[in-house]
Amino acid sequence: MAAFFFLILGHQLTTNLLMEHSIFKRIEAAPKPDFGDILTKSFNLFKEVWTQGLLHGLLSMAFVFPFIVIVYIPMIPFYIEAFEASQYGYEPSFDYAPAAIVGYALLILVLSFVMQIFVFAINLHFYRVMKKADFQTHEDTGGYFTYLKGNFGKLFVLNLAVFGIAILAALLCYLPIFYVMVPLQLIAPIFAFNSELSVSDTIKASFKLGNRFWLIIFGLIIVSSMIAQLGILACFIGVIVTAYFVHIPMYYVYKDTIGFTEGPTAAPEAPDTGAINESF
């Protein structure tokens, strides 16, 4: 029994070591992405996938809107009383039991994570759509929630980790937010094309790639975010059309650095990884 245990343990350690040769070595050997070239290619690809971006955005809103309703419905009586108080000059009461407040806060926290998992899965699917349009292939991109199949627990832990990293960065006087912004944006493309990675390896790869080309990627994030907000000029409705533009430069950052192991611009073949550890 002990020999069997050590055999399994040795296999897992060997697998993890080989996994590092699969993606982390590709990150170490990644060429420097070109800022202008990525923006140009992003505009060209946006012309082909903007309708899909619109559909993905609308579907995301379909999950966000019920969450907003659930959050604000219990607060409606308080808002009404606050409005009346402002009219008649008295202090509004806040007669909610502490247990109810704590329970409400926990419910909102859980629902927000569940909502984020579904929205994140929709975003991951959009990366598949971009790859298909970019390579002009006929590959099946699956459904909008393809990444939820067998990955729900992993996506939950991944979003929990992202939330924790963002909160920690915010607590450190907000300046670290600008640093972690880059690797956190890279998590989606890295996981979209390497969903077999564990949560820890996904985050590690994101920070490794982000650290190598931080300034270029940070600039792309800022510029693409500004472009994505241009839809406001179209009576705010246009934001739904342009919102998903922010993902396109990140797709090309992944393609031009890590690359794909298949397709016309495939990266150099990595060593055989064997069975890959899918634990968290």
- The pLDDT, as a whole number, for residue 92 is 61
- The pLDDT, as a whole number, for residue 172 is 87
Closest CA to 130 of 228, 21, 45, 43: 45
pTM of the model: 0.81
- The pLDDT, as a whole number, for residue 248 is 97
Q: Above 50 in pLDDT, residue 112? A: yes
- The pLDDT, as a whole number, for residue 269 is 41
Nearest-angstrom CA–CA distance, 61 and 186: 22
More confident residue, 219 or 4: 219
**Domain contains 208:** yes
**Domain contains 115:** no
- The pLDDT, as a whole number, for residue 239 is 82
What average pLDDT is seen over the chain?
A: 83
- The pLDDT, as a whole number, for residue 20 is 63
Q: H-type helices in the chain, by residue range?
A: 2-19, 25-28, 35-72, 76-88, 98-135, 152-171, 175-192, 199-212, 214-228, 239-242, 247-257
| Sign of the alpha-carbon torsion through 243, 60, 210, 191 | negative
pLDDT above 70 as % of the chain: 80
CA 26 to chain centroid, in Å, comes to: 21
- Domains: count for the chain: 1
**Domain contains 235:** yes
Q: Residues 117-163: pLDDT tens digits? A: 999 999 999 999 999 999 999 989 999 999 999 899 999 999 999 99
Closest CA to 159 of 150, 169, 167, 149: 167
**Domain contains 108:** no
Q: Above 90 in pLDDT, residue 67? A: no
Give the domain extent around 211: 22-63+126-136+153-257
**Domain contains 275:** no
**Domain contains 214:** yes
- The pLDDT, as a whole number, for residue 263 is 52
**Domain contains 76:** no
C-alpha angle with apex 231: 247 to 145, nearest 5 degrees?
A: 40
Nearest-angstrom CA–CA distance, 116 and 124: 12
**Domain contains 93:** no
